[in-house]
Structure 1
Amino acid sequence: MNSSLLALSHLKHLDLSVNDFRRIRIPEFIGSFKKLRYLNLSSTYFMGGIPARLGNLSSLYVLDLSDALDFTSLDNLDWLSHLTSLKNLDLSWLKLTGAPDWFSSVNMLPSLQVLSMSYVGLDTIPASVVHVNFTSSLTVLDLSFNNFNSILPKWLGNISSLTHLDLHYSGFYGVIPDTIGDLGSLTFLDLGGNQLEGIVPKSMVDLRRLKELHMPSNQLTGNLGGWLEQMTNLIILDLRSNLFNGSMPSSFGKFSNLTELNLAGNSVGGVLSEVHFENLTRLRLLDLYGNSITISIGQSWVPPFQLRYVDLTKCQLGPQFPEWLQFQTQIQELHLADCKIAGTMPAWFGNISSSTITYLDLSNNQIGGKLSSSFKFTKLETLSLDSNRFEGPLPTMLPSTLQTLYLSDNSFTGQLPIWPHVQSVALSDNMLDGGLSSSICQWTYLKFLDLSNNKLFGEIPKGIGDLIGLNNLNLSRNHLQGKIPWEIGGMESLESLDLSINDLSGSIPESLLTLYSLSYLNLSYNNLSGMIPTGYQLQTLNDPSIYMGNADLCGPQIFKNCFMQEYKKEISEWLWFYISMILGFVMGFWIFCGILFLKDAWRHAYFHIIDDMYDWVWVQWQLILRRLLRR
């Protein structure tokens, strides 16, 4: 930056944001622009600190230093106190861990309207303050993502002008003070991700102007009634991951502006009926995951809303499919897992939000019947139907957008189709039979495959080595035979391989040594033999249980000497050779004797031949002796 900018003596607006000044410091001369009212140095990554001369900009209204420094920690903010005209201050993403007295500097700004200090590493905040200068001016306060490790300061309730208060993930604990109800101008309140506990104070009933209330991931308890009913201007209500109980007030039906209702991960119970939803015409997100709520809605009810996201996991919906879903045409994610739904899918189910839905989860229910051979969900990316009662063949045609398919723990039969676009497939605990066809070798985008506990037989196809992107392969508890193909070493991304409890034979291919990402291996309970390969990646997998149940394997991994194994094998082979030879001789001898004993004609003929042979040998022997004597 050139100091020639000083020639702009009447400069009022200077914006240098989103530039890369990593190797230079913030120029001192910027503090000389006496008439400057707007200064934006955000995302500039200057080195060094902030020059104290910035305190000379007494006419400044807006100062944005968010992410203005590159890895520099500040220990002094005294220069801020001179910016008496400042209305908007953003110090987010600076490192202020060395500035414990930050509040004193900020409190000297009587006209401050917006204060943003998110992600600055603050760990101190005064529990009490004698006087707060900006109680009637400050409208926005953002102290999110800090490490205060403190209770919520009661003096916050004195800033009556606040409309936006963001304290999420800032290390606050304890109860919410009653003084929170004094912030009657609030339209936005975020206390999420802290360690707040106890019952929500009834004084919050006075926050009638609230449009967004975020208090997720705390330990808040008690009922929703008594403090929530009057917040009829709410657009977003996020109370997920707390300990709220009781039932939902029927007054929810009056929240006509509500677009997002998130109570996931609580212990809310009771019954929800049409009354709770009658005026929620703008509702787009409904998340009641993990609650014990019973949703009792008439089969003829037509909802007044069009949902985009629905999660009713573990709520009581069944045993019938909720008929009101057929009127939803814009759902993008639908989670109905563990909802005690039974029976077969209704005919209309394949048409709900068919052009918008990307995620469908019906797992852990009792839904049965056969799946259609093709799906109408043109944008579906994830389908989870595991732990149901589906049967029959697998669908042959899947949407080209589908990446994740969970169909485990059903009763599917038949062979594997060709699904070239899928990335994750879980088909364990079914009744799939036939050979492990080479069709899976055409699933070129595959990253996860679980076919365990089926009835697959035959050999593992050699083409499986072409699945170079596969991270997890589980073929355990089937009836696979033959050798482990050498080509399996081509699966360079493989992290987990389970071939246990099959009928595989032969040696373990040394190509496994080249699977440098392999962190889990199970080859137990097969008929593998020979020396276990050593070195490279297999050297890190030294648990003997990996190879147990293979009697003919040897190697240091299982404390079995391969030399002794071969020696015993050779002795065993020779021993069986001699034993079989002797047994053969004995068997032949007794068969021969038995025949002579039972057949008179054979016996006479045999001894006659013996006599003739004896006479012939005796005569020849005598002739040889006489010839020798004549000589």
Structure 2
Amino acid sequence: MSSSIFPWLFNSSTKLAYVYLSSNKLNGSIPNAFGDMNSLRYLFLDDNQLEGGIPKSFEDICTLTILGLFENYLNGQVLEFFKNLKGCLKDSLEDLYLDSNQIEGSVPNFAILPSLAWLTLANNKLYGNLAKSIESLHRLEALIVGSNMLEGIISEAQLSNFPQLSYLDLSHNPLTLNFSFDWVPPFQLYYLYVRSCKLGPDFPNWIKTQRNLQFLDISSTGISNTIPTSFWDMPSELRYLNLSHNQIKGRLPNISTKVSNLHTIDFSSNRFEGPLPVFPPNLTSINLSKNMFSRLNSFVCSVSGGNLRFLDLSSNHLSEEIPDCFMHWPKLEVLNLAHNKLSGKIPHSMGSLTQLIALDLSNNSLSGELPWSLQNCTMLRFLCLGNNKLSGKIPTWIGEKMSSLIILSLRSNKFHGSMQFQICLLVHIKHLDLSQNNISGTIPQCLNNLTAMAHKVSDFTMSDNFFWNGTVYKNFGPEGRMNGSGSYDIIGTVNVIVGWKGNVYEYGKNFGEMRSIDLANSKLTGKIPDEICCLIELKTLNLSGNMLTGMIPQNIGQLEQLESLDLSRNRLFGSLPASMVALHFLSFLDLSYNELSGRIPTSTQIQSFVSDRFIGNLGLCGPPLIEKCPQDVTSSTNHRKNYQEDGDEFWKCLYIGTGLGFIVGFWGVCGTLMLNRSWRHAYFLLMINLKDWLYVTIVVHTTRLKKMFHN
């Protein structure tokens, strides 16, 4: 519904007590007419497009206890924003939800609202000392102020003022939490979220006193010692546990019976070592990446229950063969074993993961052919197998059965054979990397069928719970508005190796709208197909290090989004297409070591590249190369020759004209002077007076003419 609902609402009744208009298309300012509803208790206008601040009329709503305005475009300075929360409203208001707006300024003193129990200000632009602003809110039950710029020290003395506190979110603020080792808080938390605050180096011992905890996130808090054994005697209600991005060390015990309701664990980016532990059977998400775990076999084959949907064990010390036990995990959607030392073949049982959306086995030592059972994984969006020792032909069923693929990376393996036309069935593909293999034959002419590169399309929904913008997300947030955001946390990332602008980069959540084709360093022959010019959303194209022949497609300028183009080390010939001047976003170009010829097209982009990007093409000429084109040299020579010929002709005419003029003038004058004495007298007198002037004039003009024809 739009804001046109407001007149109807205000005319229908002023005795309404509960108004819920959440998640609509309300825009503009909040109407003053709400102030006439003198029975209003709950007002929810969240998740709309409302702007401005809180109307002054609100201060007279003496019955209002809950005001929900989160996820709008409310803005302005803090003092101006809160000045209308006075009057009788200040004594009745208990819950105030203002998170995910654009309110900015120094956090105010909330003593003006002594009855506040729930206060959510997350995802705004607030700064200043948090402790002083909340110290008088003795009824506080929930404080959610994450993702601001709040600072200062939060001590046990300050938090002890809130005996009813049950939800605390201080995450993503430069706050320091300073508690003594033996502190026992007067409250029992359900939700503790202090990500990126300063909490370490010691593990917070007081957390074990919180018997009601369901969600605990103490990631990126500077903890660097071991986890005390007593910590694992956590309450059975715990559902979400995030200790990631610390320097926690030691081994993990068997906790399969400790926290039976736990469904999400994120221990990534720590220093845990030893064998992978046994976890509770109800877990749906495990992230142990970037540690020093070992012994994959016992972990995979001991799993029971089959509820796991996300598993990230990348960047550990796993060195054995991948066990053939994946038939026990029928619900698995994301499997990441990249950056280990795994060897042997890809197990046949991986084909039983029919719900699989992302599979990353890159950067290991896997060998053999791809198991035919993988064609059962028809829901795959991301298949990354690069930097292994895999061999055989690229199966045609990748295109036939996995048409939903967004990313396919088989780079740096030992695949051979030709590229079959079935590769063109990958209509959703955004990143195609078959580089550094032994692939031969020609590039298929059907590449214009790669729709996601030929047309601008939105990112693809992966499933009901996952979606792609480079990162896999999961909404495991607690019920209600505890964390002040639409999704709870990032629990895993699919990283992609991309050859980009002459270097190799690893892209994760910043992959974004990348569109790339990399077929470099193989044995491809034949022409670059003209159909490749239909992929107008392509941003990087790398065909270097092959045996391609023919001319560069004349319509390559249609790839206006292209930022990186590498055609070096091939056998391309002919002139550079004039359409290349339309590649305005091109920031990397390498055409070196081909057989190209002719003038390099003139454009701001092309002439900005160093000459090394064109070397090895003996026929190329013109800037940025120092070699001038033959027509330029001929034109310059002819120009000088024409000037020389013009000069010679002038002097010839001058000499002849002077001679003829002398003869005619001599006889004409001599004849006249011989007949008349007075005329003869005047003539010789004139010649005496003009001789110096005539001499100087001839010398000056002669010098000027010589300089002109010399230049």
**TM-score scaled by length of structure 2:** 0.67
User: Do the aligned partners of residues 206 and 82 (structure 1) sit closer, same or farther apart at CA in structure 2, a change above 3 Å counting?
Assistant: farther
Q: Give the one of 65, 85, 97 matched to 2:115.
A: 85
How far off its partner does 1:268 sit?
Answer: 1.2
> Is the 2:453–2:536 contact (alpha carbons within 8 Å) kept by the matching residues of 1?
no
- Displacement of 1:422: 6.1
5+ residue gaps, structure 2: 1-29, 455-495, 500-512, 639-711
Contact 2:608 2:624 in 1 (8 A): no
Return the match for 2:126 from 90, 93, 96.
96
Quick one: which of 361, 385, 396 aligns to 1:362?
385
Q: Is the 8 A contact 1:157 1:181 kept in 2?
A: no
Counterpart-to-counterpart distance in 1, 2:305 and 2:636: 79
Once residues 538 and 173 of structure 1 are traced to their aligned partners in structure 2, the CA distance between those partners, rounded to angstroms, is: 53
Of 371-380 and 493-502, more deviation after overlay is shown by 371-380
Deviation at 1:539, TM superposition (A): 3.4
| One-letter identity of the residue aligned with 2:119 | L
> Contact 2:436/2:520 (CA < 8 Å) preserved in 1?
no
Deviation at 1:245, TM superposition (A): 1.7
Amino acid corresponding to residue 66 of structure 1 in structure 2: D
**In the alignment, what sits opposite 1:73?**
105
Assess, with a 3 A threshold, how the Cα gap between structure 1 residues 51 and 533 changes in structure 2: closer, same or farther: same
**1:39 is matched with which residue?**
67
Amino acid at match of 1:112: L
Q: Cα distance 1:295–1:323, how it changes in 2: closer, same or farther (>3 A)?
A: farther
Q: Which residue of 1 aligns with 2:292?
A: 267
- Cα distance change of structure 1 residues 461 and 126 upon mapping to structure 2, 3 Å threshold: closer
CA 1:197–1:522: 2 relative to 1, 3 Å: same
Is 1:311 the counterpart of 2:336? The answer is yes
Is 1:384 equivalent to 2:409 in the alignment? yes
Equivalent of 1:487 in 533, 555, 558: 555
The 2-side partners of 1:454 and 1:90 are apart by 56
For residues 266-306 of structure 1, the C-alpha deviation after alignment (integer angstroms, 9 at most, x for no partner) is 11123541687343432221211111135678757852653
State the partner residue of 1:51.
Answer: 83
For 1:181, the equivalent position in structure 2 comes to 208
**Residues 61-99 of structure 1 deviation map (CA, whole Å, 9 limit, x = unaligned):** 21112245x45314422xx225443322112233321x3
Residue of structure 1 equivalent to 2:605: 537
1:412-453 per-residue CA deviation (whole Å, 9 max, x = no partner) reads 333333341265799999xxxxxxxxxxxxxxx994333333
Change (3 A) 1:114 1:313: same
Q: Is the 8 A contact 2:330 2:352 kept in 1?
A: no
Query: What's the offset of the Cα at 1:470?
Result: 2.7
Write the letter of the residue equivalent to 1:143: L
Is 2:526 aligned against 1:469?
Answer: no
Distance 1:37 1:189, change over 3 A: same
Question: Would you say the 8 A contact 1:49–1:72 is kept in 2?
Answer: no
The aligned residue for residue 460 of structure 2 is none
Displacement of 1:214: 1.0
Answer with 40-49 or 88-97: which moved more.
Answer: 40-49
Distance 1:428 1:390, change over 3 A: farther
Q: Residue in 2 aligned with 1:9?
A: 38
Please point out which of 120, 143, 156 is paired with 1:115.
Answer: 143
Match of 2:272?
Answer: 244
Displacement of 1:485 after TM fit? 4.7
CA distance, structure 2, for counterparts of residue 298 and residue 555 of structure 1: 60
> What corresponds to 1:141 in structure 2?
168
CA distance in 1, matches of 2:579, 2:352: 55
Q: How far off is 1:530 after superposition?
A: 4.5
Percent identity, aligned pairs only, is: 31
Task: Please give the alpha-carbon distance, in whole angstroms, between the structure 2 residues aligned to 1:548 and 1:217.
Answer: 47
Q: Hey, what's the Cα distance between the residues in 2 that align with 1:122 and 1:300? A: 49
Looking at structure 2, the residues matched to 121 and 241 of structure 1 have their Cα atoms a distance apart, in angstroms, of: 25
Matched with 1:499 is 567
Q: Check 1:133–1:12 CA distance in 2 against 1; reply closer, same or farther (3 A cut).
A: same
Alpha-carbon offset, residue 115 of structure 1: 1.4
Mapped partners of 1:370, 1:556: distance in 2: 44
Contact 1:216 1:242 in 2 (8 A): yes
Q: Is the 8 A contact 1:208 1:232 kept in 2?
A: no
Change (3 A) 1:221 1:229: farther
SS at match of 2:253: coil
Q: 1:322 to 1:314 in 2, by over 3 A?
A: farther
Return the alpha-carbon distance in structure 2 between the equivalents of residues 559 and 108 of structure 1: 76
Gaps of 5+ in 1: 430-444, 572-631
Q: In the TM superposition, what are the counterparts of 1:63-462 in structure 2 within 5 Å?
A: 63-67=96-100, 70-77=102-109, 80-97=110-127, 99-100=128-129, 102-129=130-157, 132-135=160-163, 137-148=164-175, 150=176, 153-154=179-180, 158-170=185-197, 174-209=201-236, 210-225=238-253, 230-249=258-277, 251-252=278-279, 255-273=280-298, 277-294=302-319, 302-303=327-328, 306-315=331-340, 318-351=343-376, 353-354=377-378, 356-374=379-397, 375-377=400-402, 379-398=404-423, 399-403=425-429, 404-417=431-444, 418-419=446-447, 420-421=449-450, 447-457=515-525, 459-460=527-528
1:196 partner SS: coil
Q: Is this contact kept in 1: 2:383–2:407, CA < 8 A?
A: yes
Contact 2:296 2:322 in 1 (8 A): no
1:558 corresponds in structure 2 to 625
- Alignment of 1:514 with 2:542, yes or no, is no
Q: Any idea what SS the aligned residue of 2:359 has?
A: strand
| Counterparts of 1:522 and 1:551, CA distance in 2 | 15
Q: Check whether the contact 1:387–1:409 (CA below 8 A) recurs between aligned residues.
A: yes
Q: TM-score, normalised by structure 1?
A: 0.75
SS at match of 2:344: coil
Aligned pair in 2 of structure 1 residues 506, 200: CA closer, same or farther (>3 Å)? same
Give SS of 2:605's match: helix
Letter in 1 for 2:57: F
Q: Give the stretch that moved more between structures: 333-342 or 417-426.
A: 417-426
| Separation in structure 2 between the aligned mates of residue 28 and residue 427 of structure 1, nearest angstrom | 55
8 Å contact 2:322–2:346 — kept in the other structure?
Answer: no
Task: Letter of the 2:167 partner, please give it.
Answer: V
Deviation track 1:162-215 (CA, whole Å, cap 9, x = no partner) reads: 010011234555333322322232111112244433323444223233211012
Q: In the alignment, residue 605 of structure 2 is paired with which amino acid?
A: Q
* Aligned equivalents of 1:84, 1:407: Cα separation in 2: 64
- The answer (yes or no) to whether the contact 2:276–2:299 under 8 Å persists in 1 is no
3-state SS of 1:93 partner: coil
Shift of 1:141: 0.6
- 2:597·2:620 contact (CA, 8 Å) conserved in 1? yes
The residue type equivalent to 2:91 in the other structure is S
Deviations 1:377-416 (A, max 9, x none): 3533333333333332333324455414332233333333
Please tell me whether the aligned partners of residues 159 and 183 of structure 1 are also in contact (alpha carbons under 8 angstroms).
Answer: no
Distance 1:295-1:161 versus aligned 2 partners, 3 A rule: farther
Instruction: State the structure with bigger RCO (CA 8 A, min sep 6), 1 or 2.
Output: 2
In 1, the alpha carbon distance for the partners of 2:113 and 2:436 equals: 67
- Distance in 2, matches of 1:548 and 1:197, equals 53
Q: Is the 8 A contact 1:273 1:295 kept in 2?
A: no
Say which is worse superposed, 332-341 or 478-487, in terms of deviation. Answer: 478-487
Residue 657 of structure 2 corresponds to which residue in structure 1?
A: none
CA contact (8 A) 1:107 1:132 kept: no
Q: Is the 8 A contact 1:152 1:174 kept in 2?
A: no
Q: Distance in 1 between matches of 2:441 and 2:50?
A: 64
